[in-house]
Structure 1
Amino acid sequence: MSDLHWKSAAKLVKGFAKRKFSPVEAARACLAQIERHEKSLNAMVEIRPEEALAAAKASEKRWLKGEPQGPIDGVPTLIKDLLLVRGWPTLRGSRTVSPDQAWDQDAPSVARLRECGAVFLGSTTTPEFGWKGVTDSPLTGITRNPWDTTKTPGGSSGGSSAAAAAGYAPLTLGTDGGGSIRIPAGFTGIYGLKPSFGRVPAWPLSPFGTVAHVGPMTRSVEDSALLMNVISQPDARDWHALPYDGADYTEKLKKGIKGLRIAYSPTLGYVDVNPEIARLVKKAVKVLEGLGAHVEEVDPGFADPAPIFRILWWSGARALLGQLPPEKKKLLDPNLADVVEQSYSIGLDDYLGAIKERGALGTKMRQFMERYDLLVTPTLPIPAFEAGKLSPADIDGNGKWVNWTPFSYPFNLTQQPAASVPCGFTSGGLPAGLHIAGRMFDDRTVLRVSHAYEQATTWHTMQPKGF
């Protein structure tokens, strides 16, 4: 049972059903892995072994009766510390949030997981309020990448990505407001899906507005599809949520991709990409062609929307933190405090203008995607860089983390489903990701193509040395 922490959720569930191993054994294996490696990674905020083992024992009884509560009953699961978990403090990586609160509600995705019998092991780290593309905060310190602990795992769901890559649990939840699922998935060699906006209900809604999504982060595409079956179920608290369609996201995973039309844009027309990353992504696109997809190298034809994104994101930071009293502002991440200060120069005309430009970008991409089923790019233009840094030394300035994440935030603005699937390693042993964006509402095709690529390669089977 020593390798149970590396098994996928799908394999665990099959093993529970056949009584090859139990939810208690799986929980213990994952908790042991956390204990072995947490000191070097710092991916966890809360670790709840007693609660986890009690939940696992209850799950074990259900499986012995042949009465599991749902498709992931008994599966070890981790929750990003931006999502409410009943009975746990959700401090959002910030010293400004008081732990002395009721903490009596689950976020929608957490509620659905609990109803299905998932075993919650604990919560994962986030930068303060999930504001940036790396994971460190004044509250929890620096989270590190299991492939090289001197490097960042990305962010803002870096705790979830590091934990998944290190074998802490097969299922983790993340949030994505500008790439916060896909950036860390790319840097740590796991799979991460940002579903169509509204596909996974969220509450409370993100202070950063309608760019923010909730989604799965796993070591396999199948596990993300399995998780989507649970977390996409309805919750009346989210008034942005899409109508529930009862989709089974695992149903067409193995259909193949022959005949699909794929647009391949190596740079979106304006991004400077590291040569090693560019080569790995180009090889991945050749695999898609070999699987029968029709690939055309073409840019979608929009200018870098970073100015639009920054206005909306910076305004969200101001709405969230602008009224903090001075003594609490002093507790903030200094770079986040600077973003709040910068936001005071954004006027109403600027904000409304950004919304208008965002609408034009959304329209352009809806029209572009009429000709293609998917658009593929690199997930990131660079490999993971030094942990504890906001940006690589040669990519800095007032853009903060936005300057080095040019492939992710455009698709938060357009709200399309998008994913990162591992596509190789640099000469330095760091993962690279292939970014797959689909038509709005067509999450299943993104999963299907991701699965086809994953199954045609071996990158998803790799484990960090020493883990």
Structure 2
Amino acid sequence: MTAVELVEGYRRKTISPVEATQEALDAIDRYDERVNAFVLVDREGAMAAAKESEARWHTGEPLGPGDGVPTSIKDALWTKGWPTLRGSHLIDEAGPWDEDAPAVARLRETGAVILGKTTTPEYSWKGVTDSIKYGATGNPWDPTKTSGGSSGGSATAVGLGMGAWSVGTDGGGSVRIPAAFTGTVALKPTYGLIPLFPPSAFGTLSHAGPMTRTVRDNAALLDVIAGFDSRDWSAMPTPTSSFLDGIDDGVAGLRIGFSPDLGFVDNHPEVDAAVRAAVEVLQAAGAEVSEVDPGFDDPIDAFNVLWFSGAAKLLQAYGEAVGDQVDPGLRRTAEAGAHFTASDFLDATATRMELGRLMGLFHRRYDVLLTPTLPLPAFAVGQDVPDGSPSPDWTSWTPYTYPFNLTQQPALSVPCGFTSEGLPIGLQIVGKRHADGLVLRVGQAYQSATAWHTRVPSLQEV
């Protein structure tokens, strides 16, 4: 059941939070040994929280719209009482762990049942999920394939029913990449809508984002975790309306710009065909679709300056202690980042600002932009890049995601088909800053007309 369905069931007393939590824990027992999505599971704590939620629902006094929903948290977000080790040997497990990240605090306030923490590559530095500390996370559709990353544990958990929803982070595609690879839904919201604390080493590229199986659940989770937090200097004011409002208004009359390749990307042919078919669905639903490119060159060089500099600053704090304790790719990235100058950083920032201006002008003409989420399906687990890649950098195969971290626009990934090998394909819906509700509305219109999100992962068929 989706989170929205669970809450309605709690209200009607046709299902209880205890039953839902037990089912999520059973799914973890059934599947996690094969996919490695969790680094921590608190069975006793989860069942105790579920019983407390059940009592509140019986008296008609739930704490909020997420009361009793089984939830997981990416192990990049602080959780009071649990270590947040970020897939790294560098962090002292002893803590203290006495504070929740803003999104986690909002989940506790609404009464969500927090099952545990999900996997991440070391410090969320790359687009797949494996670490020296915890190993690699497999894909629900084929555990020999990557789940994507860096929020791959959360996507796999949601995809296999190991909790109805999860919260991940996205600095260059890290909720959307695994959503596309696992056939789930994820939103990178407008920057600041979901506060972050402590701040990311990758600065204002990094967002937190809801990860779910449906767009409606995504909007419901965003309602819970969006809101002002004084610990984040860039936090936006708390929304005054629900992201579920108007979500079923459809796309009739909306102006949609479709870019099949952004002008510089080569797609796997099955990805191209699936995304074009998805665009036709929205056109049939009444949207005015034009095939057009936003008109910018690949900003990978600017992104890499900012990203690699963040990696360098991150490891700088550990000095000579780093040694062989960290992911070799992270160390290589940090070494490259250490050579960038302040002038390089400012040049990259200028490129970022110009990209934001161009996209602002684009959205005067088009309500949303559609692209593939990724140009390829999932590749072998445990690799940073697919076989035959000319580059060792994860950014070489994620050209549709990182541009919109630079611009801080909302970007949603929804499943839009499968390859002949049974691997999911994602459609990305991008809106202007602060148009998160519109992006969700377009995603909901697509899901209302299709059934890709209802497909059962291969592991659940065994």
Match of 1:98 in 2: 92
Matched AA of 1:430: L
Q: Point out the more displaced range, 117-126 or 198-207.
A: 198-207
Match of 1:36 among 25, 30, 41: 30
Match of 1:379 in 2: 373
Matched AA of 2:281: V
The alpha-carbon deviation at position 325 of structure 1 amounts to 2.8
Match of 1:420 among 413, 424, 427: 413
Q: 2:183 aligned with 1:183, yes or no?
A: no
Determine if contact 2:139/2:156 at 8 Å carries over to the other structure. yes
Match of 1:446 among 422, 432, 439: 439
Matched AA of 1:458: A
Find the aligned partners of 1:366 and 1:154 in 2 and give their Cα distance.
Answer: 29
Match of 2:193 among 173, 192, 199: 199
Matched AA of 2:406: L
What secondary structure is seen at the aligned counterpart in 2 of 1:416?
coil
What secondary structure is seen at the aligned counterpart in 2 of 1:149?
strand
The alpha-carbon deviation at position 323 of structure 1 amounts to 3.5
Match of 1:458 among 425, 446, 451: 451
Find the aligned partners of 2:375 and 2:416 in 1 and give their Cα distance.
Answer: 13
Determine if contact 2:268/2:375 at 8 Å carries over to the other structure. yes
Find the aligned partners of 1:86 and 1:298 in 2 and give their Cα distance.
Answer: 47
Determine if contact 2:315/2:322 at 8 Å carries over to the other structure. no
Match of 1:432 among 425, 429, 444: 425
Q: 2:97 aligned with 1:65, yes or no?
A: no
Find the aligned partners of 1:397 and 1:464 in 2 and give their Cα distance.
Answer: 31
Match of 2:316 in 1: 322
Question: Aligned runs of 1:6-25 on 2, under 5 Å?
Answer: 7-25=1-19
The alpha-carbon deviation at position 345 of structure 1 amounts to 1.8
Match of 1:151 in 2: 145
What secondary structure is seen at the aligned counterpart in 1 of 2:211?
strand
Determine if contact 1:378/1:433 at 8 Å carries over to the other structure. yes
Match of 1:297 in 2: 291
The alpha-carbon deviation at position 343 of structure 1 amounts to 1.2
* Structure 2: tracts of 5 or more residues without a match: none
Find the aligned partners of 1:394 and 1:295 in 2 and give their Cα distance.
Answer: 35
Match of 2:281 among 265, 284, 287: 287
Q: 2:302 aligned with 1:308, yes or no?
A: yes
Find the aligned partners of 1:210 and 1:26 in 2 and give their Cα distance.
Answer: 36
Match of 1:343 in 2: 337
Find the aligned partners of 2:444 and 2:323 in 1 and give their Cα distance.
Answer: 45
Match of 1:334 among 328, 331, 335: 328
Determine if contact 1:233/1:246 at 8 Å carries over to the other structure. no
What secondary structure is seen at the aligned counterpart in 1 of 2:375?
coil
Determine if contact 1:196/1:417 at 8 Å carries over to the other structure. yes
Match of 1:223 in 2: 217
Q: 2:154 aligned with 1:160, yes or no?
A: yes
The alpha-carbon deviation at position 390 of structure 1 amounts to 0.3
Moved over 3 A (4+): none
Find the aligned partners of 1:416 and 1:158 in 2 and give their Cα distance.
Answer: 22
Match of 2:204 in 1: 210
Match of 1:4 in 2: none
CA deviation vs aligned residue, 1:137-193 (integer Å, no higher than 9, x gap):
011101000101110010000000011111101111010000000000000000000
Number of residues of Structure 1 aligned to a counterpart in Structure 2: 460
Q: CA RMSD in A?
A: 0.8
Matched AA of 1:89: P
The alpha-carbon deviation at position 328 of structure 1 amounts to 2.7
Determine if contact 2:142/2:458 at 8 Å carries over to the other structure. no
* Structure 1: tracts of 5 or more residues without a match: 1-6
TM-score by length of structure 1 reads 0.98
Matched AA of 1:83: L
Matched AA of 2:418: F
The alpha-carbon deviation at position 11 of structure 1 amounts to 0.6
Q: Point out the more displaced range, 48-57 or 316-325.
A: 316-325
The alpha-carbon deviation at position 319 of structure 1 amounts to 1.0
The alpha-carbon deviation at position 236 of structure 1 amounts to 0.9
Find the aligned partners of 1:255 and 1:348 in 2 and give their Cα distance.
Answer: 47
Find the aligned partners of 1:251 and 1:244 in 2 and give their Cα distance.
Answer: 16
Matched AA of 1:265: S
Matched AA of 2:356: G
Match of 1:141 in 2: 135
The alpha-carbon deviation at position 330 of structure 1 amounts to 1.9
Matched AA of 2:294: P
Q: Point out the more displaced range, 327-336 or 427-436.
A: 327-336
Match of 1:3 in 2: none
Match of 1:235 in 2: 229
Determine if contact 2:202/2:307 at 8 Å carries over to the other structure. yes
Find the aligned partners of 2:38 and 2:31 in 1 and give their Cα distance.
Answer: 11
Find the aligned partners of 2:338 and 2:2 in 1 and give their Cα distance.
Answer: 47
Find the aligned partners of 2:110 and 2:317 in 1 and give their Cα distance.
Answer: 39
Q: Point out the more displaced range, 341-350 or 28-37.
A: 341-350
The alpha-carbon deviation at position 24 of structure 1 amounts to 0.6
Determine if contact 2:372/2:427 at 8 Å carries over to the other structure. yes
TM-score by length of structure 2 reads 0.99
Find the aligned partners of 2:390 and 2:95 in 1 and give their Cα distance.
Answer: 38
Find the aligned partners of 2:90 and 2:73 in 1 and give their Cα distance.
Answer: 20
Find the aligned partners of 1:57 and 1:218 in 2 and give their Cα distance.
Answer: 23
The alpha-carbon deviation at position 205 of structure 1 amounts to 1.1
Find the aligned partners of 1:323 and 1:111 in 2 and give their Cα distance.
Answer: 28
Identity %: 52
Q: 2:241 aligned with 1:251, yes or no?
A: no
Q: 2:49 aligned with 1:49, yes or no?
A: no
Question: Aligned runs of 1:77-92 on 2, under 5 Å?
Answer: 77-92=71-86
What secondary structure is seen at the aligned counterpart in 1 of 2:114?
strand
